Structure 1
Amino acid sequence: MKMKIINILLVLLMTFSFAVNAHGDKNKDKGLFKGIDTPAAKVVLAFHQALETGNKELARAQLADDVTIYEGGRVERSADEYAHHHMLSDMKYLASMKSETLEHQVTILGNTAISASRSHTKGTNKGKERDYQSMETMVLEKQNGDWKIKHIHWSH
């Protein structure tokens, strides 16, 4: 319970600092990419690459078994649930889109890491033009020496 409270506080702290940076910092180009060479960040990047290239096994391997994924008012409560349902539609969608990361910060505190990013996505999907910015927050946990994604929150 104590670790969950700490994780929630960390997410709130990262979200607040992310929001401050996203709303007109004088040095807007400085510090938008931090910690992206860390092992935890490499897991996030591998997950994104796997989704974009349709590599279901690699994407699934980056997730903790008990991952929770929040998107569009819905929740998936395990890696298997995501892999058997929404992952395939995410892969199809991303195959038709072009996405550019605008900022990405990864902070590691012990066995917990928080990844916060903002992206610009555009393209055509199912005959509809899309052009929007999205936000992503991930919480990662070091399990048996490997970083795994425990929580994802996507919004746009």
Structure 2
Amino acid sequence: MKVILKENIENLGFKDEVVDVKNGYGRNYLIPKGVASLATKSALKVLEENLKQRAVKDKKVKEEAVKTANALKETVVKVGAKAGEKGKIFGSINTIQLAEAIEKLGFTIERKYIKIKGEPIKNLGAYEADIRLHKDVDATVKFEVVEDK
């Protein structure tokens, strides 16, 4: 069954993509939830026209994402956390705290597009995270967990 996605779905595809899914998944989950529609001939024609109109706008968005990716690659984001004597953090650092730290630098990134590499962060130190800024633009950001005073 071919469906047109109405929004980004992790491990399936991006908005306005035509994807092939199993009949049950499309009929019982995607279409009733409103995240996809059936890919009929008329729906595909409408989608094609919308994509043509959106191509110029998308190019500008992609250029902005590339600029943001280059700026984030050059900076080291500092994330503050309360820590004990040996550098062990009370709790752990998650994507919410990283997104807030990046926002303080002037970049707005949704936390669901941030993937922290490796184990849960429970110690002070330097780490990396992957960020999806656009469907074609990914960035690796370096961040440092420092002790809050």
Q: TM-score range by the shorter chain?
A: under 0.3
Structure showing greater Rg: 2
Higher share in strand:
1
TM-score, structure 1 normalization: 0.25
TM-score, structure 2 normalization: 0.26
